């Protein structure tokens, strides 16, 4: 336990964040005992009349953003809790599509600090409780909670939610969840609730997912069985649940597989949403760091793909939209990710790699990345993603494209740099 003094209610957000980082033995500490005590004390376990909790290896942020856009078009007040952030902590808590100001966060932190007493909380647990407090304060109608890690023992699982969602399942976070896909499936299915809708957007999930739903008598909805989607043209798609079908839907910027899952989750929540709300929401939904294109020459694309599963989707999309184009790839990753396989998946896009070191205890160095890159010994190493990006831009021809990929940290640093330069999203 740190001896750092407790910030004042009026202290800056950065002072509070430094304090939160200092007061617990580890940044990740899975388990619900401690966080449950504080959540129940503050009556934070039901922060809104409708709560949808979203777990999964990839696609959580996109699924929440799609649901958020549709709900906002339908006139609901919506709170979204997500992690990690790209540039500013404030990105983690959205109210009606906007990040909440520093003062809202510091006020919530002060509330949780007084509420917790002697209970020790990790950074994520503290942040989660503070987000729930802000939703409670603002009396939102629908809360969308993105699970941080796993599901069963994640701090978000203290919430009494109405609909559970698993977006996708793949091996990731090996240090915490292991490399057995059945174990990972069971951990993520730990958010399911008896008698409540449980949505799975992963085709053919490991057997532990439907088995757990059956064991606890959750109402299980599996893509490809109870609901499904199909592309009907380059710009339209159709969605079906039983005999109910929506046709001529606009293809969103965000992954269609996540739109499929989002529609099932909203349908299961039995909210008042029209076909027009769905069409408008699909058109409007955006999320920074997901196939994000920046203006300027050469064209830059930023994507947080950080494991083989998300890299496969990214390569498929880039190959579809930019056939026969070669990319200069700026990459920075965390060492607990599957670096070798992620690079193998990305390899067809480029022969021009710009490996960058990240900072922090989980960061991989440029040297580590080069061990898995063709001609790794001959490659120049970069101290950070921004210097790698600057080098890629300086060496790029006008018809080249730059891809920034590998981690939220990588994309966040480059995005912040571009933001300071006044570069806009295309």
Is the peptide bond between 307 and the residue preceding it cis, with omega within 30 degrees of 0?
no
Q: Please compute the mean of the pLDDT values over residues 233-254 and round it to a whole number.
A: 95
What's residue 295's pLDDT? 81
What's residue 29's pLDDT? 57
The answer to whether residue 28 scores a pLDDT higher than 80 is: no
Residue pair 389/414 in contact by the 8 Å Cβ criterion: yes
The answer to whether residue 9 scores a pLDDT higher than 90 is: no
The answer to whether residue 174 scores a pLDDT higher than 70 is: no
Average pLDDT of the residues of the chain: 92
The answer to whether residue 173 scores a pLDDT higher than 80 is: no
Residue pair 35/158 in contact by the 8 Å Cβ criterion: yes
What's residue 297's pLDDT? 84
Residue pair 352/328 in contact by the 8 Å Cβ criterion: yes
Q: Shortest CA distance to 311 belongs to which of 283, 367, 350, 282? A: 350
Confidence of residue 26 (pLDDT cuts 50, 70, 90): low
Confidence of residue 179 (pLDDT cuts 50, 70, 90): low
Q: Residue 349: helix, strand or coil by DSSP?
A: helix
Residue pair 151/188 in contact by the 8 Å Cβ criterion: yes
Among the residue ranges 28-32, 183-187, 263-267, the one predicted with the least confidence is 28-32
Q: Shortest CA distance to 194 belongs to which of 212, 168, 169? A: 212
The answer to whether residue 24 scores a pLDDT higher than 80 is: no
The answer to whether residue 20 scores a pLDDT higher than 50 is: yes
Confidence of residue 172 (pLDDT cuts 50, 70, 90): low
Residue pair 128/155 in contact by the 8 Å Cβ criterion: yes
**Structure-model confidence comparison of residues 382 and 335, the more confident one:** 382
Confidence of residue 220 (pLDDT cuts 50, 70, 90): very high
Among the residue ranges 78-92, 170-184, 313-327, the one predicted with the least confidence is 170-184
Residue 154 to residue 173: CA distance in whole angstroms = 13
Of the chain, the end-to-end C-alpha distance in Å amounts to: 46
Q: What is the DSSP letter of 169?
A: -
Among the residue ranges 21-30, 36-45, 113-122, 328-337, the one predicted with the least confidence is 21-30
Which domains are assigned to the chain? 13-284 (3.40.1190.10), 292-421 (3.90.190.20)
pLDDT in tens, 369-407: 999 997 766 789 999 999 999 999 999 988 899 999 999
Q: Please compute the mean of the pLDDT values over residues 194-201 and round it to a whole number.
A: 98
Residue 246 to residue 312: CA distance in whole angstroms = 28
Burial class for 85, CB neighbours closer than 10 Å (0-12, 13-18, 19+) = middle
What's residue 273's pLDDT? 98
Residue 36 to residue 52: CA distance in whole angstroms = 18
Q: Which element (helix H / strand E) includes 343?
A: helix 339-346
Neighbours of 195 (CB within 10 A): 8
Residues linked to residue 254 through DSSP beta bridges, in sequence order: none
Neighbours of 286 (CB within 10 A): 16
Confidence of residue 176 (pLDDT cuts 50, 70, 90): very low
Residue 190 to residue 413: CA distance in whole angstroms = 34
Instruction: Determine the length of the chain.
Output: 426
pLDDT in tens, 350-371: 989 999 999 988 899 999 999 9
């Amino acid at each position: 336990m740190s001896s750092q003094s407790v910030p004042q209610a009026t202290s800056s957000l950065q002072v509070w964040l430094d304090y939160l980082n200092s007061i617990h033995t580890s940044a990740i500490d899975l388990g619900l005992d401690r966080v449950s005590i504080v959540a129940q004390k503050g009556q934070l376990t039901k922060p809104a009349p409708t709560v949808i909790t979203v777990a999964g290896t990839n696609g959580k942020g996109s699924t929440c953003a799609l649901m958020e856009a549709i709900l906002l078009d339908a006139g609901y007040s919506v709170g979204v809790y997500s992690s990690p952030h790209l540039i500013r902590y404030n990105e983690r808590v959205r109210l009606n599509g906007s990040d909440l100001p520093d003062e809202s966060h510091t006020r919530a932190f002060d509330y949780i600090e007084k509420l917790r007493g002697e209970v020790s909380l990790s950074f994520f647990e503290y942040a989660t409780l503070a987000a729930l407090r802000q939703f409670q304060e603002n009396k939102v109608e629908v809360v969308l909670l993105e699970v941080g890690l796993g599901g069963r023992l994640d701090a978000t699982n203290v919430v009494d939610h109405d609909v559970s969602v698993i977006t996708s399942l793949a091996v990731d976070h090996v240090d915490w969840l292991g490399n057995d896909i059945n174990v990972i499936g069971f951990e993520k299915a730990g958010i399911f609730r008896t008698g409540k809708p449980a949505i799975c957007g992963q085709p053919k999930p490991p057997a532990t997912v439907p088995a757990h739903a059956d064991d606890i008598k959750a109402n299980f909805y599996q893509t490809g069985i109870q609901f499904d989607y199909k592309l009907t043209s380059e710009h339209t798609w159709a969605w079906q649940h039983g005999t109910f079908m929506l046709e001529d839907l606009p293809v969103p910027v965000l992954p269609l597989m996540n739109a499929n899952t989002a529609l099932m989750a909203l349908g299961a929540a039995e909210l008042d949403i029209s076909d027009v709300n769905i069409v408008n929401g699909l058109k409007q939904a955006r999320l920074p760091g997901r196939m994000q294109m920046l203006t300027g020459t050469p064209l830059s694309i930023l994507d947080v793909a950080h494991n083989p599963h998300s890299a496969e989707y990214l390569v498929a999309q880039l190959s579809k939209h930019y056939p026969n184009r070669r990319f200069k790839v700026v990459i920075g990753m965390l060492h607990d990710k599957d670096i070798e396989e992620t690079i193998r998946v990305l390899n067809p896009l480029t022969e021009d790699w710009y490996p960058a070191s990240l900072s922090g205890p989980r960061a991989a160095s440029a040297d580590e990345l080069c061990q898995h890159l063709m001609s790794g010994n001959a490659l120049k190493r970069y101290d950070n993603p921004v210097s790698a990006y600057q080098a890629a831009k300086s060496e790029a021809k006008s018809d080249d494209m730059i891809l920034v990929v590998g981690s939220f940290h990588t994309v966040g640093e480059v995005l912040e740099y571009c933001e300071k330069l006044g570069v806009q999203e295309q």
